[in-house]
Structure 1
């Protein structure tokens, strides 16, 4: 049994990670301000990471899994307040790679501002740099779009809503834009390997090996409900973030080095089934955006039907 500290622990990835390690029998502490419902089996440390004072100084952890480090202050304040720990794992983001870089992005690709992600990406870069300066043997994981149970971001849940109501799906252009996904369970499997094996490499891109077109992704989401979408292709100059879950930005990561950690990943079909099973029981936990309202109010007679 390991003693694990998870920052956050109440929303999507941090919550999933906390519950994953509770289910494995580990002693899981979550660090948050206690403004949301806590997961069963975790041990709450109720504090703001920026005002830790002596809260953690007399505690020790086998592993710190930092899910909610968004900038260098987040890293510095947590490290300044921590007592003893053996291993530090930070969940970063593929947003650290600039949109103009050569793809697929490799771990040693240039890091710079991405015009789609802006400050979020540059802050993650600063957080990574600060962590490696202070904890040279820390691990950093850079995932693409994460999905799975507990996802409170309106991505697959939006498509599920359209499928539930038998709505046609408004698809940006011809739907050929590709995206890369990674199931939260697979991310936990990668973390398992880092904890148990401590590989020499310390920064990893993680994700499914194959990118998928947004049309295929929507079809897969509808397929969970045994339905097929009727597409309406949107070619007009409408900001797709008004009616679709993703930026008009195609990217993918080179995850070759991930093969040394896990040999396979969950199929998109099985992963989306898990997402849907969770969603139909927890719809109120998703931060829904007004995509459907925008479509109904603004997009009639401005599309081509397929």
Structure 2
């Protein structure tokens, strides 16, 4: 039976990935710091270690071997250096690194996997750290360590611990105004189930060795479509407030009142589909419907401390907004 190690397993993407692999009858170990309860069964072993502590990591991995390693909890080159240094490699068929679409330079157009990567002021150090981590992983591909890299767009859905679609559901249900930056940014989302299926589709897929792939649902949307779709799902009209940021005080930035950055985010997934990887099928309406059901059935504390100006902007106390 194929053996798999998931770095992570306690929250959102890594949790969904582990649960999916278990459902597909793979032999799955998860590795976390042990700081969050694991509320599902079916994995073989829950390994507990701080991945930044080489001694701890070496101890829990001693004597173990894996066919596939899915690394969802790495953010920096150092995270990966320690893991690859101690990871048993004799049976390893693939090391899969979950990176991010934030590694690309900013563009208002579609970005494919050959798009230029580097500093992007919209994402800051997060995107740059992921890019540097990717470079390190690619350097091992040259040394014949079998690797695959995935670069997701905005992932949403069941178990999302980020205050994004849950924020929207909260505001609509409570009848509170939703401040939205003026503009027509085009972005892409991918539902969590589609995202993990796409990543898992590299199993026994040798052509994907040494390659990077964008992970997204093909159809872009703007904020208006995102909100209108949520209205249909919730069954209630949203109170939208359009915000002209040119008129806002300098101290108030988009992320102080909105869960996304005010920039387009368009990734082409044609390469993945051409190479025979899983094709995402869940559109925004179906995805938000599933997300809303999870929101109602599984309450979670998702508050975003960065969004500390929502009511100030939404209620017009800065006197620089228009209501529609």
Pair in the same fold by TM > 0.5? yes
Shift of 1:46: 0.6
- 202, 206, 221: which one aligns with 1:198: 206
2:100 and 2:153 in contact (8 A); partners too:
yes
SS of the residue 1:275 aligns to: helix
SS of the residue 1:208 aligns to: coil
Deviations 1:193-227 (A, max 9, x none): 21132224611112111210011101112221112
Q: Specify the alignment match of 1:305 in structure 2.
A: 323
1: CA distance, partners of 2:322 / 2:108? 33
Q: Specify the alignment match of 1:258 in structure 2.
A: 272
- 225, 229, 234: which one aligns with 1:225: 234
Q: Specify the alignment match of 1:279 in structure 2.
A: 295
Shift of 1:285: 4.0
Shift of 1:258: 2.5
Shift of 1:230: 2.9
2:6 and 2:69 in contact (8 A); partners too:
yes
SS of the residue 1:161 aligns to: helix
Where do 5+ consecutive residues of structure 1 fail to align? none
SS of the residue 2:51 aligns to: coil
SS of the residue 1:139 aligns to: strand
Cα distance 1:23–1:173, how it changes in 2: closer, same or farther (>3 A)? same
2: CA distance, partners of 1:34 / 1:180? 33
2: CA distance, partners of 1:290 / 1:81? 37
Q: Specify the alignment match of 2:32 in structure 1.
A: 32
1: CA distance, partners of 2:310 / 2:139? 47
Q: Specify the alignment match of 2:177 in structure 1.
A: 168
1: CA distance, partners of 2:124 / 2:241? 30
Q: Specify the alignment match of 1:7 in structure 2.
A: 7
Shift of 1:102: 6.7
- Aligned Cα RMSD in Å? 1.9
Q: Specify the alignment match of 1:81 in structure 2.
A: 86
Shift of 1:167: 2.1
Deviations 1:12-69 (A, max 9, x none): 1111111111222222211111011013223210111122133213101121000011
Shift of 1:80: 1.2
Q: Specify the alignment match of 2:72 in structure 1.
A: 67
Q: Which moved more, 1:41-50 or 1:142-151?
A: 41-50
Q: Specify the alignment match of 1:93 in structure 2.
A: 100
Q: Does 1:185 pair with 2:193? A: yes
Deviations 1:58-115 (A, max 9, x none): 101121000011111111101112113221111100111111x473111111111010
Cα distance 1:18–1:39, how it changes in 2: closer, same or farther (>3 A)? farther
